[in-house]
């Protein structure tokens, strides 16, 4: 039985969202004529590619700290932080696809959610050492 149900759902949602972004890159390859392995040649393709790659870059940091934080703040708060992270990624992607200079708010939300998880996890680890 999975005890951290909300965190598990957020994890699956983040992975599926990343998969959807990758599928969009693949579809845009065909639509714009940017053949693999090229990663440039059409501005819309390049934006979609960067959104996908940046999401993968953020996912590598987000997922481990997401699961570590469950031990410190529990499933509900961790799941909520994960939903905020996902919202940030959607806002980031939407802004970036319209105009790359509009990616800031989504990135700020993403990084803030990740930073909160890192800080609370570190505090929890420190408390664990002090209590021992």
Report yes or no on 89 lying in a domain. Answer: yes
- The tally of domains found in the chain comes to 1
Report yes or no on 50 lying in a domain. Answer: yes
| Residue span of the structural domain in which 15 resides | 5-127
Mean pLDDT of the chain: 96
Report yes or no on 48 lying in a domain. Answer: yes
Packing angle between helix 43-98 and helix 5-32, nearest 10 degrees? 140
Q: What confidence score (pLDDT) does residue 1 get?
A: 67
Report yes or no on 100 lying in a domain. Answer: yes
- Nearest residue to 44 (alpha-carbon basis) of 106, 93, 107, 110: 93
Alpha carbons 78 and 80: distance in angstroms, whole number: 5
Q: Domain containing 56 — which CATH number?
A: 1.20.120.550
pLDDT in tens, 31-76: 999 999 999 999 999 999 999 999 999 999 999 999 999 999 999 9
Report yes or no on 132 lying in a domain. Answer: no
Report yes or no on 55 lying in a domain. Answer: yes
Q: What confidence score (pLDDT) does residue 21 get?
A: 98
Mean pLDDT of the 68-97 span: 97
Report yes or no on 14 lying in a domain. Answer: yes
């Amino acid at each position: 039985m999975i005890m951290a149900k909300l965190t598990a759902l957020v994890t699956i949602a983040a992975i599926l969202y990343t998969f959807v972004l990758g599928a969009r890159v693949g579809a845009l390859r065909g639509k714009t004529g940017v053949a693999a392995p090229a990663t440039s040649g059409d501005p819309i393709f390049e934006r979609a590619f960067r959104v996908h790659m940046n999401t993968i870059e953020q996912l590598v940091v987000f997922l481990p700290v997401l699961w570590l934080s469950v031990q410190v703040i529990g499933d509900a708060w961790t799941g909520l932080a994960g939903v905020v992270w996902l919202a940030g990624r959607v806002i980031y992607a939407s802004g970036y696809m319209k105009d790359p200079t509009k990616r800031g708010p989504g990135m700020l939300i993403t990084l803030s959610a990740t930073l909160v998880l890192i800080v609370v996890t570190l505090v929890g680890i420190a408390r664990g050492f002090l209590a021992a």
